[in-house]
Structure 1
Amino acid sequence: MYTLLIVDDEPIIADGLFEVFQNLNTLELNVYKAYSGDEAIEILKKTRIDIVLTDIRMPGMSGLQLMEQIHRQWPKCRVIFLTGYNEFDYIYAAIQYKGVNYILKTEGYDKVIAAVENAVEDIEKSFRLDALIQEAEKQMDAAKELLRGNFLNGVIKGRFYKNEINQRQFDELGIELNASRDVIMLVGRLDNVPKGVPYSERNRRIYSVSLIAGEFFSSSVNYIYFTDENSYLIWLIQPREGQDAGENVSWRECLTFVMGIIELIQKSCMESSRISVSFALDDSPADWIDLPDRFNTLKMVLNYRFGQDSAMLLAGRGVMKEDLKDIQEKAYEKLSTNRLQFEMLAETLEYGKKEDFFALMDELTGNLKTVKSIHNTVALEQYSSIALVLLSYINRWNILEKVAFRIGIHKLMRVDEHESWDDAVKYLYDLGSILFEIQEQEQEERAQDVIGLIQKHINDNIHIQDELSLIRLADLVHFNPSYLSRLFKQVVGMNISDYISDIRVKKAKQMLENPGIKISSVAESLGYGTATNFTRFFKKMTNMTPQEYRDFVNAKIKDTP
C-alpha cells in the first residue's frame, strides 16, 4: 500500500481529488490532503509519503519549495505537479529533478489518475533495480567472514537443524568443505594470557596462531577456521577431495597428519611469537549435526589438566578415560544441556512459532522419556531448564491465573509430582500447548480492543475529516499507519477508508430519511465541505443522488398502507 498526499490551496480542488483517490479501486492508497505547503510539511513529518500531487503555484510556500522539502525528508518520493498553461518557468525548473512529473489542471481526473498510476509503477520498478542488488552483493562480500563465523558458531552450538547445514549454504558463505562428508574438529586455547591484556592484543595473538596454523594445514587438508565468543580457536577439517572418505584408513591418515602438524604449530607459535597454545583433537570424524556435543567434550578435555605444563596436545576424548565414560553412561551425550537450545526454545515460544517450539521440544525430550530413574540428575537438569523457559514466559506476561485455571501449575518445578519422566514430559507438552492457546487468545483480544477503539472514534467523529485520517487514527493507538491499516482489514474484513464510507452512507441515509434536514446540512455533518462533494460520494456508493434517495424513501412511505 502506498501513501498519496494531495496539496492545493483551493479546498474544492483538494477535496475533490481526495474523494476521487479515496474511492479509487484500481490502486491501494492511503490518501491525505493539505491546503498549504506548511500543512503538507507537518504531514510529511508524521508518516512516509510515496507520492505528492501538488499545485505548483500556491501562496506562501510554492510547489517547488515544497518539493525541495519533500526530497530532503523522503528522497524516493514521486512528485506530480498540477500546473496552468502560463507556468513554463515553473515547469522547466520542476522537471530538472528526478521522479518529478507534471499535468495540466484542465486535463481532468482520468489524466490525474493515470499520472498517479504511473508513479506507483515507477516506485515498484525502483525496488527491483539491479544496482541496488549489486550494491547489496558487495556488502555481503565484505561481511561474508562475519556471516561465516556466525553460521559456524551456530553449527557448533546446535542452532540449526540438519537440513539447514547444506552445501548451498556452504558455497554462499565461502566454506570450502563438503557438507555431505563428516568432519574432524580441532579446538585450541591460548594459555596463560595475563589479566588486563587489551582486547586488540588478545586478537593479535589469536590471529598469529591462525596464520601459523594455516601455513601448515593449507597444502594437505581442507579446513575452515573460526573462533567463538570465548576465544576458543576452532578448525573443522576434512581429507583432501580424492581421498576416499568412506574408508577408515583415509580418516586415520588425516588424524595422524593433523596430530603431527599440531606439535609443529605449537613450536612455531612459541618460537616466533612467544605464544603458548593448547589443543584438543577429536579422535574420530563426526556428522555436522553432532558437532555441538563434540565441541562441549573437547572443551572439557582442554580443561582436564595433567601436571603443571601449560601447553597441552591432547588427542581425542579418550584422554578423560573413566571420567568421560561415566558421564556418557549417565546420558550426558544423550540428553542435551546446551543452553543455546533452551534459548531457542524461549524464542520460539516468545515469537509464537508453535511448530518450531514443539519440534525443538521433540529434540530436547526424546531421550528424556527413556531415562528410568526419576532421580537422574542430568535428566533433572534438562527438565528444569525447559520448565524455567515456561515459567519465565508465564511470569513475564503475567498469565499465572489464566494458566492455573487450566493445569496444575504446582507440578512445573516439582519433579516429584510426576510418576515418571514420560509423565513429566507429557506435562511440559500440555503446558506448552496451553501457553500457545492463551497467546493466540490474547493476541486476538488485543487486536479486537484496538480496532474497537478505532471504530468508536470513527463513529464519534465522522463529521470531522481531520480526525479520520490514517495518521490521526494510528496516533490514537501508537501504531505505524501501514500496520494499523493491515490489522484493521484483517480484523474487520475491509479497509479503513471503506469502513468510513460505509458509516457515512448509513448515517447519510438516516438523515436523508428526515425531510426536515437539508442536504447541505447532511453534507456538513458528515465532514464534506460542499454539497457537491457529498453528492458525488453518495451517488458513487448508492447509484442515487441524495435527492433521488430522499424521493425514493418518501414514495415508499406513501405506498405503505
Structure 2
Amino acid sequence: MYRSLVVDDMPIVADGLIELLQGLTHLNLKLYKAYSGTKALDILRTEKIDIVLSDIKMPGMQGIDLLKEIKVSWPNCKVIFLTAYDDFAYVRSAISLGGFEYILKIEGDDKIVRTVEKAIISLNEENVARTLIHAADRHTTLADTAPQEAYAWELLSEEKTNETDLINAFVGMNPSLRADLPVQMVMGNFKEWDCVKDQDKAGLLATVQTIIEQYTGDCARLFMSSSDDSQFLLLIQEHGEGYDGAEPVSFIRNKLEPIRQTCRKLLDIQIAFVLHDLPAGWSGFRHVFENLKKDIVRGTDSSLGMIETGALSETTVQSDKDESGTNYFQLYKVRLLDNYLASGNEVDFTKLFHELKAFLLEDSTFRLHKLECLHALHAILVSNIMACQMTDELEMAFEINKRIHLSGDGSWEELQQYRQIASSIFEYKRTMASENSPEWIDKVHAYIEANLADDLTLPMLASQVNFNPSYFSRFYKQKTGISLSDYIADIRNATAKELLKCNKIKIQDVAMKAGYQSSMAFIRFFKKQNGMTPQEFRRKMSSAIFVSDANNK
C-alpha cells in the first residue's frame, strides 16, 4: 500500500480529489490531505508519503516551493501538479525540478486516475530495481524447493490425484497457503524461454517472483514445473499482506498487466497469462489446472498478454464435452439459471437449462453429482415460485423433486416439467410488469424525488417495487424510453437550477441537496449538462432578473 497526499488551498477541490481516490480500491492507497503547502510539509515529516497531488499556485508556500522541499528530503516521492493555469513556464519549472506529471484541472477524473496509476507503476518498478539484489538469495531458495515443485506439478497432471495429496504438496512448500481457503489460479508462460541461457533461468525466475511480490505482497506464490519448462503457476488467496480486500479475480486482474510491463521493461522478457475467472476450491483445482494448460498453449501464438477463461457471465460458460461432464461447472450453471430467472432472460435460461439437462441425463454422470445439481436447481425454482406466490407450481415442484429422488434413473426425464414451471414464472413476471408498470414507475419516481440527496443505487430503487435490479433497469427503459440514470440526472439538474436561483444558498449546499457528495463532482456534472458552471449559471440568472426588474419599473 502506498501513501498519497492531496494538497490544495481550496477545501472543496482537495475533498473532491480524496473522494475520487477513495472510490478507486484497485489503487490501494492510504490518503492524506492538506489545505496549504506548510500543512503538507508537516504531514510529510511524520508520514512516508509516496505520491503528492498538489495545486501549483497557492497562498503562502507555492507548489513549486513544496516540490523543492520534497525533492531534497524525499527524492523518491512522485509529485503530480494540478492547476487551472495552462502556462508553459509552470510546466517547465515543475518538470525541470523533478515533478512527475502536470495535469490541468479541466482535464477530468480519467486523466487524474491514469496519472496516479502511472506513478504507482513507476514506484513499483523502482522498488523492484532496489530489491533485485535479493534475487540471489531467492535463487538458492528456489533451487532447494525445485524437487518439491516438480512433484507438485506431477500430482496436478495425474487424473487420480486426491485433494489431500494436493494440499499437502502445495501447503508443504509454502506455509502461507491455507487449505481452508479457495485458491485463484493463474497460468503463466515465458515467451522465447528457449532463448534464455540455462544458467540464467533460475536467477530469472527468482527475479520474477520478486517482482510479483512487489505487486501482490505475500498473496501470490509462483510454482514452476522445472526451469526447462516455460510454464508456471500462480496461486492467489485472499489473505496476507498486500491483499486489498477485493474479490480474488479482481485483485489479480489488476496486478497482472503491471507485472507484465515491469518484467518486460526490467528483464526484457515477455510473459503471457491465462486467468481463470471462477473461484476454485481445492476440489476443482486439478480440473481448472488442465483447462489453463490447454488455454495457455492455444494462446502462445497469440499477441494477447492476458486471456481470461471460464468466466461466470451470460456469454461465457464452459460447455464442451470434457468440461460439461464435471459437477464443478454445473453448479455455476445453476447459479446462472437463477440470475436469468430473476432478470427475466428466458432465452438464455432455456439454452442453459438444456445444457444442464443433458448433463443430468448422461449415463456416465454419477448419481451423487446429479442429486447435488437437482437440489440446487430445485432451490432456485422454489425461491422464485414463492416470490411470485404461485401455489400450484410450488406443489408441482416438490412432487417432481420427490419422484426423481425416489425413482430410478429413468425419472430424470421429468426435469422437463421444471422447465415448464420456469415458463410459468417468466409469464407471471411479464404479466405483472405490464399490468402494474405505471404504478411501479410512479412509486420509484416519488422515492427518487423524496431522497434526491441520498446515494440512489439501482438495487435500492429496484427494492422499492421488489424487482431484480438488472431486470428493473431494462424494464424501466422499455416503459419510459430513457434510462433510470438519465432520469435521476435530469431531476438533479432541474433541482440544482432551481436552488441556484437563490443567491443565499452556497454552491456546496446546492450540491448536497441535489445529491452530490462533493462540490467538485457537482461542478463537473453541471457544466457537462448545461455548458456552464453553477457560478456562471447563477450570474446569468441574476442578470436576467435584474434586467426584468429594470424593465418593469
TM-score by structure 1 length? 0.38
TM-score by structure 2 length? 0.38
Q: Is the radius of gyration larger for structure 1 or structure 2?
A: 1
